[in-house]
Structure 1
């Protein structure tokens, strides 16, 4: 008599997030109040959609919650980009 073999299943793959086509850019008047999913907003930020979702979960960034899903508005995307901009260093003028 042999021992029963353990069955292994393939790892479950999540479906790719759906990204709508023809999205307005966040810095345009139409995109300013448009609601983008984190994966849609990722194309205009230095972060991936997964990282944006994690930042939302940890409440590190502002977001819109509609009772079921999390979104970022164009204004929030612009503010996020502005927050992470590294400004060049300039030496202060020497007092004479």
Structure 2
């Protein structure tokens, strides 16, 4: 006999009218990982795991993980892929 499977999915409440992290108001605003996920290439659970493993900068209030707007912008900038440019070929004289 196996244990019954969980039927309820865990949902997280995302506040409305959040300031953008790159705005003056959002620079020091505290976002939950699920709220920060909309501005990063990661999901909320991934951000939570990375913060727990100390792979990324975060703010912690007891056991609750938060990200400031500055930390979100820095994380997004770290994962920007710039286009490849061929180096100029030097011609022999």
The TM-score bracket by the shorter chain reads: 0.7 to 0.9
Aligned residues between the structures: 91
> In the TM superposition, what are the counterparts of 1:53-92 in structure 2 within 5 Å?
53-92=48-87
Q: Which runs of 5+ in 1 are unaligned?
A: 1-5
Alignment TM-score, normalising by the size of structure 1 = 0.83
Larger radius of gyration: 1
Instruction: Measure how far apart 1:14 and its partner are.
Output: 4.7
- Computed over aligned residues only, the root mean square deviation of the Cα atoms, in angstroms, reads 1.8
Q: Which runs of 5+ in 2 are unaligned?
A: none
Distance 2:30 2:15 in 1: 11
> In the TM superposition, what are the counterparts of 1:1-96 in structure 2 within 5 Å?
9-11=4-6, 13-96=8-91
User: Which segments of structure 1 move beyond 6 Å, counting only runs of 4 or more?
Assistant: none
Alignment TM-score, normalising by the size of structure 2 = 0.86
